[in-house]
Structure 1
Amino acid sequence: MAMHMTEEAAKWYQEEMDLDSGDYVHFYVKLYGGIPTAHPNYFLGVSIGKDGEMSHYQNFDGVTFYFSEQDAWFLNQYDLAIKMGQEEAVFEFTPINNDNAK
């Protein structure tokens, strides 16, 4: 039920998307194509801009990376780590053990 982005992944996004302080990067749920996830048939999209109320978010150098309240359900059973792979950011979903979450 958390999102954690590494500083290296944030810097990669900042360079790839030419982001400036004050920008928002919105990760959102979509049905077809995009970043693979732990949810069958659901993918993630990425856009620049603020859309709705933020749920899970992190800020690096003035750039906010977030999920909106509308898509908060997507992380209800998972922790999401966004970190650098060899050439681009990778998304790792770790199931939450509900017995330990109480």
Structure 2
Amino acid sequence: MKISIIESAQEWFENEVGLEKGAGVRFSGKVYGKTEVHEGFSVGMEVAQPDDVLAKTVVNGITYFIDKHDEWFFSGYDLQVSFDKERDEPIYHFIEQ
């Protein structure tokens, strides 16, 4: 499983969330909403430090990760985080492995 963050999404996390080097962002499955591959669930994110990591990437000193507790949600997919300029928010894409 891989996580990729496009530059405009990275900039959003730094500017809107106020992240600095050494920070972490955890992606998880949350109830309500939908994704490209899940009905009734959406992607949640929170500022957190990695603990029980399933996948991670470090961009500009910030660690973006999924922990093992959320393997059920991301299993079989890579996560690509892009950005919607009109809505001014990240977009989460599931890329089948």
- Same fold per TM (> 0.5)? yes
Displacement of 1:71 in angstroms is 0.8
Q: Distance in 1 between matches of 2:52 and 2:90?
A: 24
Which residue pairs with 1:100 in the alignment?
A: none
- The answer for the alignment partner of 1:3 in structure 2 is 3
Gaps of 5+ in 2: none
| Length-normalised TM-score, structure 1 | 0.78
TM-score normalized by structure 2?
0.82
Query: What's the Cα RMSD here?
Result: 1.7
Flag structure 1 segments of 5+ consecutive residues without an equivalent: 97-102
- Within 5 A, what are the aligned runs for 1:63-78? 63-78=62-77
Q: Percent identity between the aligned chains?
A: 27
Name the count of aligned residue pairs. 94
Q: Quick one: distance in 2 between partners of 1:55 and 1:25?
A: 13
What is residue 22 of structure 1 aligned with on the other side?
A: 22
Summarize deviations over 1:51-95 as a string: whole Å, max 9, x none. 531111111111111111111232222222111222221111233
For the pair shown, which has the larger CA radius of gyration, 1 or 2?
1
Give the structure with the higher percent strand: 2
| Structure 1 residue 31 corresponds to structure 2 residue 31 | yes
